[in-house]
Amino acid sequence: MSRQVRHSLLRVFLANPLAISGITLVGTLCIIAVLAPWISPYDPQAIDTWHILEPPSAQHWLGTDTLGRDCLSRLIYGSRISLLVGFVAVGIATFIGAFLGGIAGYYGGKVDWVIMRLVDIMLCFPTIFLIMAVIAFLEPSIWNIMAVIGLTGWMGVARLVRAEFLSLRKRDFVLAARISGASDLRIAFSHILPNAIAPVLVSATLGVGGAILTESALSFLGIGVQPPTPSWGNMLTAGKDNLEIAWWLSVYPGLAILVTVLGYNLLGEGLRDALDPRSRERG
């Protein structure tokens, strides 16, 4: 990618106020997650029976829960879980989807048919119910959650990569690489894939928000991250039983999920606009 093209991409991205809002939200979340041990006012798992269900105050800015634990501290540490799940799960899904989509698009024919039928079969199952069914047979843990979300979320990436490979495999640079004696895997993943990475990058960014939302839903249902490890989903679960007397237990984790998913969606939309040639022409 030439310097002129990079400058054009950056100019379009920075000219989009929604994209700037998205990267600001995502960057703030990352900073909070990294600095959690230093900025958290209390131990997120410390039980204090003298301060049970206290409303937001100067001592506990976001109140306390049913065990007297500081909600702000648990919210801050919960951001680590969300980022870990989002990045790892989407990383797994992107790797699988890029590999299978690249193979399907490069070889075509029967290989393409088999892989695309596998994609169709996977898409027939509602994702959340498929994940719940798999988790029911496994021990609920953060690692199992990340693996299952990743293993059930690669189909969209596979379709995107396949479409890009189908349009790129007849290009001159691919023919030149083939004439030079490069292997199929080298041509596919060293020459074609870097030129097909733009939609994958957008899909992965949007997918992080989806993975965070899925983890929160699973934790809310009690089959995700297990207490006492703080997660925004299990914080919502703890709050639903005391919604009438302790509104803060549900409102703040819900807002955290909303803002985080919104941030990744805005960032993904900004990347999509910047990587769209028509947007660059308009910019």
Average pLDDT, the chain: 86
Taking residue 266's Cβ as centre, other Cβ atoms within 10 Å add up to 23
Average pLDDT (58-69) is 92
Considering the entire predicted model, what is its pTM? 0.87
Surface-to-core class of residue 269, CB atoms within 10 Å of its CB (0-12 exposed, 13-18 middle, 19+ buried) = middle
Q: pLDDT category, 40, cuts 50, 70, 90?
A: very high
All structural domains of the chain with their residue ranges = 3-282
Q: Does domain 3-282 have CATH number 1.10.3720.10?
A: yes
CA–CA distance, 238 with 228 (Å, rounded to integer): 11
CA distance 73 to 95: 34
Helix axes 197-220, 127-136, angle to 10 degrees: 60
Please write the tens of the pLDDT for every residue from 71-87: 999 999 999 988 899 89
| 37-41, 47-51, 97-101, 122-126: segment of lowest average pLDDT | 122-126
- The amino acid that residue 134 corresponds to is V
pLDDT at 41 over 90: yes
**Span 53-81, average pLDDT:** 92
Residue 277: what pLDDT?
Answer: 54
